Amino acid sequence: MRVISGKAKGRSLKAVPGMSTRPTTDKVKEAIFSMIGPYYDGGTALDLFAGTGGLGIEALSRGMDKCIFIDIEKKSLDTVIHNLETTGLREQAEVYRNDAARALKVLSKRDIQFQLVFLDPPYRMKFIGELVDKLQAYALLAPMAAILVEHDAEYQLDDVFGNCICERRVAYGDTAVTIYTYKGNIEE
């Protein structure tokens, strides 16, 4: 695993010890950023099931100003911090240990909106719709924010969650990527 492009290009990323996480492969990561980027001119990202932090770190490397990394597992967060330090991106990151739904509630108390959200929960968890609904209800999404969901290819997500519209769905073996765009809060 490595950073594919941007200012930290080529830096190796450490995997989370054990079998509890499923890091996004370099091939899938490259395809993801070809679809949603490939580069950014600032903004804030959220990596809600951070794991190794690979997706959020890639977004930072490609020009996001800041990324908030959240995971419930301490060993995942230790890995995220290690990877942020290795890539020289630690100053642009906030790292928190929390449950996803609780984390969104805490973030709602801050004056923050995300331009890019990564949702890559363990495949057994089937509550993506609830999380996307909470992101909207808590006003955590900037207009035209991209929400990227990595999930089991056999699991079919809805095309619409409130004001979040599916723009693209691609399968890579047993992994699928579904990308939504938030169409709410757009000034007419």
Mean pLDDT of the region 58-81: 96
d(CA 36, CA 134) in angstroms, rounded, equals 22
pLDDT at 120 over 80: yes
**Tens-digit pLDDT profile for residues 125-169:** 778 999 999 999 999 999 999 999 999 888 889 999 999 999 999
Structural domain range at position 79:
1-14+24-36+70-113+162-174
**Tens-digit pLDDT profile for residues 173-185:** 888 999 999 998 6
Give a yes or no: residue 5 inside a domain.
yes
pTM listed for this prediction? 0.92
pLDDT at 21 over 80: no
pLDDT at 33 over 70: yes
Give a yes or no: residue 104 inside a domain.
yes
Residue 62: CB partners within 8 Å, gap ≥ 6?
5, 6, 33, 37, 38, 39, 40
Radius of gyration of the chain (CA): 15
Mean pLDDT of the region 14-20: 76
pLDDT at 39 over 70: yes
Q: For residue 96, give both structure tokens.
A: 């928190």
Band of residue 188 on the pLDDT scale cut at 50, 70, 90: very low
DSSP-assigned letters across all residues of 39-56: --SS-EEEETT-TT-HHH
**Cis ω on the peptide bond leading into residue 38 (within 30° of 0)?**
yes
Give a yes or no: residue 143 inside a domain.
no
Mean pLDDT of the region 106-111: 95
3-state secondary structure of 133: helix
The total of structural domains in the chain comes to 1
pLDDT of res. 179: 95
Give a yes or no: residue 137 inside a domain.
no
- Which of the two residues, 92 and 154, has the higher pLDDT score? 92
Mean pLDDT of the region 29-42: 87
Distance of CA 26 to the CA centre of its chain: 15
